[in-house]
Structure 1
Amino acid sequence: MLPPLASGGAQARQGSRFASKLRHEPYRISQRTPLQARDAHANVFFVGLMGAGKTTVGRAIARRLDRPFFDSDHEIEARTGARIPVIFELEGEAGFREREASVISDLTGRDNIVLATGGGAILRPENREALQNRGVVIYLRANPHDLWLRTRRDKNRPLLQTEDPKARLEALYEVRDPLYRECAHFVIETGRPSVNGLVNMVLMQLEMAGVAKHPAS
């Protein structure tokens, strides 16, 4: 049996089809949602489909900014003592989303962090609102074909354990891409860049927006 969800009091304080051309347009950036005034230490939140690079890029950004890094899926596993596929098996997707919402509420209420969210975190309006209002949201956008190439051998992704995971990714993209765009302050269409190149591009956008600065060397 998995541990129960944290109570509300323990949670955070205040604080259409896909385009194949994306493969050939690395680093194309757009600002989707107007940024309200943010200080130089605003939280940085990454959203996007599984395999988009949220954890890899987020961890690198956290190192460069000298901030704590969190991955919401890893945090769920740490709190429950169970892997994501086991949670899906025992509680179904609905149960997992409840736990995810609790973790998102907690983590977004912290200060000066970098957070990589799970691919489905934006499905709940309350998660989108928390992300938008408590930090700067960056959508790492990649087309389903590239995502499939990156995730096809990963058995820790319950939603892709189907006969046709590529078709599943395409279906997820159709539903979630508009929600990522609604939530994001910036959309970075990644193409196939190096990790360092993508990290530098994210940092440049954060600095231009005045919401993050490199730590003093």
Structure 2
Amino acid sequence: MKNTIYLIGFMGTGKSTIAGYLKQNHGRQIIEMDQVIEEREKMTISRIFEEKGEEYFRSLETELLKELHGRTGLVVSCGGGTPLRASNVDIMHKGGWVVFLTATPETVYERVKNSHNRPLLEKDKNISFIASLMGERQERYEAAADIVITTDGRSAEEICQEIIRKIEEKMALID
């Protein structure tokens, strides 16, 4: 039975915030993929990208997803690029619900403008670059998603209620 909730979406769309709310109010254990990878590698994501490259980092994401497969009661906050690999999407679909959180480029910019742990944005932190990168990923995110949720101007509670409601509706269709 599908039990894990995988939160995907562009950086700054609210994955960590929503994961925290699902933990606090629905008793789920959080796995912050980027945080786990940083702890294991003993370096920041930015440094992993600099020293070992994006492909190495993406392989670490895939290995972590494989480890998590089969565990229950999780909410996994995925890195922004996690669903860009088809094998990652397959792993997520086998054990959970893939929830795509969306936001406008303007909202994302406001949420990440003071952050320095986003290697893909560090040199181009502006709305037009964010919009371009989001556009490149949009189709892959949508294809991976079981559920799509807009986060602009909404509370964590509203977003989580919608996630739970939509999962329950999909489960009712399966039963």
TM-score, with length taken from structure 1: 0.74
For 1:117, which of 78, 81, 88 is the aligned residue? 78
User: In structure 2, what is the Cα distance between the partners aligned to 1:108 and 1:158?
Assistant: 27
Instruction: Give the residue type in structure 2 aligned to 1:52.
Output: T
SS at match of 1:175: helix
User: In structure 2, what is the Cα distance between the partners aligned to 1:69 and 1:95?
Assistant: 24
Aligned-pair RMSD on alpha carbons? 1.7
Instruction: Give the residue type in structure 1 aligned to 2:149.
Output: I
Instruction: Give the residue type in structure 1 aligned to 2:45.
Output: I
The structural deviation recorded for 1:78 is 1.4
For 2:5, which of 41, 44, 49 is the aligned residue? 44
Considering Cα pairs closer than 8 Å and 6+ residues apart, tell me whether 1 or 2 has the greater RCO.
1
SS at match of 2:53: helix
The reply on whether 1:193 has 2:154 as its aligned counterpart is: yes
More off after superposition, 197-206 vs 42-51:
197-206
User: In structure 1, what is the Cα distance between the partners aligned to 2:19 and 2:111?
Assistant: 17
Per the alignment, residue 150 of structure 1 pairs with: 111
User: In structure 2, what is the Cα distance between the partners aligned to 1:165 and 1:96?
Assistant: 24
SS at match of 2:6: strand
SS at match of 1:46: strand
Per the alignment, residue 92 of structure 1 pairs with: 53
Per the alignment, residue 56 of structure 1 pairs with: 17
The Cα offsets for residues 41-87 of structure 1, whole Å up to 9 and x where unpaired, read as x1111100000001110121123221211111111011111111111
Contact 2:109–2:125 (8 Å) recurs in 1? no
Per the alignment, residue 138 of structure 1 pairs with: 99
Per the alignment, residue 162 of structure 1 pairs with: 123
Contact 1:61–1:203 (8 Å) recurs in 2? no
* Structure 2: gaps spanning 5 or more residues: none
Q: Identity, % of aligned pairs?
A: 29
Closer/same/farther in 2, CA of residues 91 and 178 from structure 1, 3 Å limit: same
User: In structure 2, what is the Cα distance between the partners aligned to 1:174 and 1:59?
Assistant: 27
SS at match of 1:192: coil
The Cα offsets for residues 131-167 of structure 1, whole Å up to 9 and x where unpaired, read as 1221011111111121111111100100001145323
User: In structure 1, what is the Cα distance between the partners aligned to 2:80 and 2:6?
Assistant: 12
User: In structure 2, what is the Cα distance between the partners aligned to 1:77 and 1:61?
Assistant: 23
The structural deviation recorded for 1:203 is 2.2
Query: Which runs of structure 1 show a deviation greater than 4 angstroms over 4 or more consecutive aligned residues?
Result: none
The structural deviation recorded for 1:108 is 3.2
Larger Rg computed on CA atoms: 1
Instruction: Give the residue type in structure 1 aligned to 2:150.
Output: E
The structural deviation recorded for 1:210 is 3.4
* Structure 1: gaps spanning 5 or more residues: 1-37, 212-217
Instruction: Give the residue type in structure 2 aligned to 1:167.
Output: S
User: In structure 2, what is the Cα distance between the partners aligned to 1:146 and 1:164?
Assistant: 13
User: In structure 2, what is the Cα distance between the partners aligned to 1:112 and 1:163?
Assistant: 37
User: In structure 2, what is the Cα distance between the partners aligned to 1:111 and 1:48?
Assistant: 22
Instruction: Give the residue type in structure 2 aligned to 1:88.
Output: F
The structural deviation recorded for 1:94 is 1.6
